[in-house]
A and B are shown apart, each in its own frame.
Chain A
Amino acid sequence: MAEEHSGTPPKEAPSDVPSKKGLAAVLDEVREINTALVGKAKEDLESLKQPEKTAVFKSIFRVKHDESSRSRALGVLSNVFLHLHPSKINRDAVRYNYTWGMGGITFYLFVVLTFTGVLLMYYYHPTKGQAYRDIVYLMSDVPFGSLLRNMHRWAAHLMIITVWLHMFRVFLTGSYKKPREFNWCVGVILLVLTLLLSFTGYLLPDDQLGFWAVTVGTNMARATPFLGHEGPFGPLLHMTPYNDVRFALLGGSIVDANALLRAYIWHCIAIPVIASVFMIVHFWRVRKDGGISGPAPVVLEQEAIKAKVLPYVVPQHTE
């Protein structure tokens, strides 16, 4: 019975069949609909064995998921999250020993920090007194609250380590060399932003640890040449504790409520947005500068000499 209906929708009953009357006709019709629906249900169940053939699947994924190289390439290129990748890469670049995976891990940690950070914001008020109570509440009463805070803290520390190691690897492999000079500069800015993100977050629990760390850190700003009231030439420019660069950072002459609010806004909004912009440029340039730098074939000294003009020389300089 099911086969009869499979594939094509049931056609309307031909007009030359003598029509029955009353209840029997209704029952017949019900039976017919029933048979059709059972057939369709079986058909749907059958199609679940091959979900990639369904219209819903095709509407989401757009390309075939088979092992042909065209489909593999399209799978990456036509996906918004994956399209930062090229469709093919250097076969040795996937080895762990070249990149150590540190750049990717750093980005993943940024994602983890954004996720846990947004969740933490639901429980936190950036006001003196309330801030510390929120943290105590989070650690003791909120379900998974301590896990959430711990993950945010440890991911932040880990991110600094992975940023340093990423930079170390990039230096050791000479990956900042032409044509990737500018991307190294973007990376240095991202390093600074990572440190600042962590530093601004340090104050937010409003405990002794954060308070004194930020006090020590921002006290350095007093000594800024020209712009700090204790720095060289600062007094000559009429710098006082109430108008110098430290005052601008803290929103006051001591680490207090304004400093907490400023740290909060820098930490949760301003620096993440700025860092995201630089990250977009960083990743974009990795692709535009020819993908990851290696492992490249080694070049010999004689070959660099043969090139006569070294590839990396300021143009106007001649022998």
Chain B
Amino acid sequence: MDWHQLWEITSAPDNVPIVALILLVPFYTWYGIRQALANDRLIAQLEADPQLAKTHHRKTMPWKAGWSKEIPVWPYLLRIEFLAAIVVTVILMVWSITLNAPLEELANPNLTMNPAKAPWYFLGLQEMLVYFDPWMAGVVMPSLIIVGLIVIPYIDANPLGAGYYTWKQRRFAISTFCFGFLFLWLLMVVIGTFIRGPGWMWFWPGQTWDPNNQVFEVNRDLPDLFRITNIWGKTIFGAIVMGIYFAVSGGVVHKLFTWSDWNKKVFAKMSFLQYITMQGFLTIMMLLPIKILIRHLFRIKYIWVTPWFNL
């Protein structure tokens, strides 16, 4: 166990935000889920008792008859904003006094840093480079993430859960977003920061980052396993496999989506465009964990090999 190595990574000034994230994200996830469960209990209670549903103020926050629904912004909101600004300023001051921003040697194109890492917030993309070619990991996937985020409001046809935390009413939406954000984005950032050492090789926490480390792994392509050598044979084979993948994963997404009775009704109301867009983004998103799995389990690099691109 190389504690020194671990400390060196954790205490690197530019890694402090990730250490903060590792603490903040679980906290806020718990904080949100806790309120969602509280609201779910209230929803169950109101569904069981229609009379109560008519009179209840429908929030978990305390409420008494005679209280006004609204309060003046000054002073009740502005004083909080002012306090928040002071607290953030104090945190920044303390952080800036105690820790210097990193400054390495003068830039030198002849001396490659090993590992050469992107800024921490892009390490998820850099980690994706292990599983996809740069055109996919560096260009197509980031574009799809941005467009995928933008279309969320237009494909989420579930009218429930607007303006309050809930799990029960939005199970599918919340679990897919949390999977994407927590596992496919943040976990990849954490792996890129703490696990990937020189040569972008995998070092477990506490293992020494040895630049001379050798990995004896031979990756192969899926067509090789079937002894397909002709490039056109590989192209056609890969296209068929991808077709099967989208058919199967589309089916799985559909099953998961229409799991609950409520979502069956939501599906009935969705337009074709909404549904096909949702399917497209979710099946492409699932390519990442699947490629991670087949890489680590079967050492498979490409599924689809063509003269123009490899996937």
Interface residues of A (CB under 8 A from B): 69, 72-73, 75-76, 82, 85-98, 100-101, 104-105, 108-109, 112, 132, 135-136, 139, 146-147, 149-155, 157-158, 160-161, 164-165, 168-169, 171-178, 180-182, 184-185, 188, 191-192, 195, 198-199, 202, 205-213, 215-217, 219-225, 228, 230-233, 254-255, 293-302, 304-305, 307, 310-314, 317, 319
**Chain B residues near A92 (CB-CB < 8 A):** 59, 61
Q: Do most interface residues of chain A lie in helix, strand or loop, or is the interface mixed?
A: helix
Looking at the complex, which one of B46, B107, B262 makes contact with A132 (CB distance below 8 Å)? B107
Nearest residue (CB) in B for A219 is: B134
Q: How far is the CA of A310 from the CA of B202 in the complex (A)?
A: 49
B139–A76 touching, CB < 8 Å: no
Shortest A37–chain B CB gap in Å is 40
Is B271 among interface residues, defined by CB-CB distance under 8 A?
yes
Proximity string of chain B (205-235) to chain A, C-beta cutoff 8 Å, 1 when within and 0 when not: 0000000000000000000000000000000
Given A172-B36, A174-B164: 9 more A-B contacts, CB < 8 Å: A88-B73, A89-B70, A158-B88, A165-B25, A202-B119, A207-B106, A209-B14, A223-B133, A224-B135
Check A222 against B134 for contact (C-beta < 8 Å): yes
Is the pair A101, B84 in contact by a Cβ cutoff of 8 Å? yes
Q: What residues of chain A lie closer than 8 Å to B163, measured between beta carbons?
A: 173-175, 177, 293-296
A285 nearest CB across to chain B (Å): 13
B113-140 residues at the A interface, CB under 8 angstroms: 113, 116-122, 125-126, 133-135, 137-140
Min CB distance B193 to A, Å, is 13
**Residues in chain B near residue A132, CB distance under 8 A:** 106-107
Nearest CB of B to A131, in Å = 9
A132–B166 Cα distance when bound, in Å, is 51
Contact of A94 among B77, B135, B138, B161 (CB under 8 A): B77
Interface size on B, residues (CB 8 A): 110
Q: Does B67 contact A76, Cβ atoms closer than 8 Å?
A: no
Cβ < 8 Å to A, chain B residues 70-110: 70-78, 80-81, 84-85, 88-89, 91-93, 95-97, 99-109
Closest chain B residue to A183, Cβ basis: B153
Q: Does A181 lie within 8 Å of B154, measured CB to CB?
A: yes
A236 to B58, CA, bound (A): 61
B139 touches A221 (CB 8 A): yes
Give the tally of cross-chain contacts (CB within 8 A).
310
Beta-carbon contact of A89 and B59 below 8 Å: no
On chain B, the residues within 8 Å of A311 by CB distance are 159
A89 to B97, CA, bound (A): 38
What residues on B are CB-neighbors of A69 within 8 Å? 72
Is residue B16 within 8 Å, beta carbon to beta carbon, of the partner chain? yes
Closest CB of chain A to B142's CB: distance in Å?
8
- Interface membership of B39, Cβ < 8 A: yes
In the bound complex, residues from chain A placing their C-beta under 8 Å from that of B69 are 90-91
A112 near B89: Cβ-Cβ < 8 Å: yes
B3: Cβ under 8 A from any A Cβ = no
The closest CB in chain A to the CB of B177 belongs to A171
Residues of A within 8 A of B162 (CB): 174-175, 177-178, 293-294, 296, 299
Max count, chain A CB within 10 A of own CB: residue among B25, B69, B73, B154: B73
Residue B281, interface by CB 8 Å? no
Complex contacts, B70 vs chain A, CB 8 Å: 88-91
- Contact in complex: A91, B68 (CB < 8 Å): yes
Q: A136's closest neighbor in chain B, by CB?
A: B103
Tell which of A175, A232, A300 touches B53, judged by Cβ atoms closer than 8 Å.
A300
Residues of B within 8 A of A181 (CB): 153-154
* Cα(A185)–Cα(B134), bound, Å: 26
Residues of chain B contacted by A312 (CB below 8 angstroms)? 157-159
Residues of chain B from 132 to 181 with CB closer than 8 A to chain A in the complex: 133-135, 137-140, 146, 149-150, 152-154, 156-166, 169-170, 173-174, 177, 181
